[in-house]
Amino acid sequence: MKIVSHQEPTSSKDYFPSLFFLGVMMFIPKIDIVPIAGYWQGIRIEDLLILSFFIVFIGNSQNYIYHRDFKFKNFLIFFIYIFISNFVAVFSGIEIKIIMLIRLFEYIVLLYFFDNLKIDLSKIKKILYLYLFISLFIVILQYYEIVGNFSSLGYQSADDMIWVRAMGLTGGPWELGIVSSIIFFTLLELEKDLKKIFVVFFIVNLFLILTGGRANFLAFNLACLVLLLFNKNIKFSSKSIFLVLIFLLTFILGKFVFSDFIEKIVSIDISYLYFLFKEGVLKQNLPPMDDLIDYKVYLSFWYRVEGWSLFINELTEKNINLLFGIGLKHIYYDSLLIRILVSTGFFGVILILFLSFKLKLYLFIFFLLSGSFLDLFISMKIFFFTLIMLYVHKQISINNEKNINNFQ
């Protein structure tokens, strides 16, 4: 195995079953093979599969640790910084979670899998459609309490009190919302039929409503609105039709089918959210739960702010923490943005803003809004589907450049 190359890597299809890897990572639910004491999650099939790829990868002398055309440079740079921030955290006396470092290592291995991946985009398109429609079938069964689901707690039957919302093939309702949204943004690049795109758009919104993900719902639809309005490839007439259909869909669902969900969104007072955040995080003086003006609308946010205030308090204990963060000390943050700030410090925030500069505007909006209230990449499935999306976007860009060069 070599260190640096200016050439593209050897295709993974030459030494690893890529379609099998994709299928297992996408479709296999969360099933522990070996439990780990003190943690909900044990060693799973995907962990063994990632380890297998790593062994095969480093065992191939033609592979390089880094090459000029590495597809996920920004992720790799940020992950390297995370290791540095954790080294600083340990040096300053903070105890980090080893299991989180293992997960970070797995994510780096996944970067190399996708960097070496050579699969026709048409096959990825078929797999994503298959995943979406199987998920739809399972979600319907879960909604009518016919089947249960797999989560970090194992299998939960439909009559289990812990199981309250549809999860599809993922391990949580919020995961289903994010994963289905990412599938839409991926198929958007692969699918030329606008009718099929609208069907997928409808299915994703159905998932978002059934899973009760208000932040997901707003983030996805706002990102789609930005994408629609600023997309030069869509005619004005088509944009108008889409906007009318979206308005009618929202009105019908909100008025006659899912009125409670839509009401929870419409009832949100942004100024009150800011008040709770300011009092809880900035002033460390969160009002008691009993003082909330509406439990149904603000209780979940109150719990988030309660946790965030503790994390921010740890961050501000030392100046070095403010600069480099406290590393991977905690597993759950309920916010990607809070995780980045607390785990990596101000240097990490500046770095990720710089690395996100070339991200498409609608994706930046989607990850910014959804990541404000959800700790997105703590989920292996969300990270995996994000890499699929970025891989597709990158391959399409490469193919377009080749077509332009061939034409010239």
Handedness of CA 400, 402, 407, 408 (dihedral sign): positive
What gap in Å lies between CA 128 and CA 133, rounded to an integer?
9
Contact criterion met (CB below 8 Å) for 116 and 10: yes
In this predicted model, what pLDDT tens digit does every residue of 1-27 receive, in sequence order?
566 665 555 554 444 678 889 988 999
Global pTM reads 0.91
DSSP 283: S
Taking CB atoms within 8 Å and a gap of at least 24, the contacts of 320-324 are 320/88, 320/92, 321/89, 321/92, 321/94, 321/345, 322/346, 323/347, 324/84, 324/85, 324/88, 324/89, 324/348
pLDDT of residue 392: 95
At 239, phi and psi to the nearest 5? -60, -45
pLDDT of residue 13: 47
Residues constituting the chain: 408
pLDDT of residue 157: 66
At 151, phi and psi to the nearest 5? -140, -170
* Joined tokens for residue 364: 């930046």
Taking CB atoms within 8 Å and a gap of at least 24, the contacts of 161-168 are 165/210, 165/211, 165/212, 166/138, 166/139, 166/142, 166/207, 166/210, 166/211, 167/139, 167/142, 167/211, 168/135, 168/136, 168/138, 168/139, 168/142, 168/207
Beta strand 2-5 pairing with 64-67: parallel
Contact criterion met (CB below 8 Å) for 176 and 139: yes
Contact criterion met (CB below 8 Å) for 116 and 11: yes
In this predicted model, what pLDDT tens digit does every residue of 345-402 receive, in sequence order?
999 999 999 999 889 999 999 999 999 999 999 999 999 999 999 999 999 988 877 6
* Joined tokens for residue 33: 């093979």
What gap in Å lies between CA 264 and CA 176, rounded to an integer?
20
At 168, phi and psi to the nearest 5? 60, -135
Contact criterion met (CB below 8 Å) for 358 and 382: no
Residues of the chain with confidence (pLDDT) below 50: 12-15, 161
pLDDT of residue 309: 94
pLDDT of residue 153: 61
* Joined tokens for residue 96: 């980090």
Give the contacts of 350 (CB within 8 A, at least 6 positions apart).
none
pLDDT of residue 198: 86
* Amino acid at the residue 219: A
**Burial of 119 by CB count in 10 Å (0-12 exposed, 13-18 middle, 19+ buried)?**
middle
The DSSP-derived string for 28-59 is: ----EEE--TT-S--EEHHHHHHHHHHHHHHT
Backbone dihedral region for residue 133 (phi beyond 0: left; psi -120 to 50: alpha; all else: beta): alpha
Give the contacts of 116 (CB within 8 A, at least 6 positions apart).
9, 10, 11, 12, 16, 57, 63
Give the contacts of 13 (CB within 8 A, at least 6 positions apart).
118, 119
* Joined tokens for residue 249: 């869909």
What gap in Å lies between CA 53 and CA 67, rounded to an integer?
19
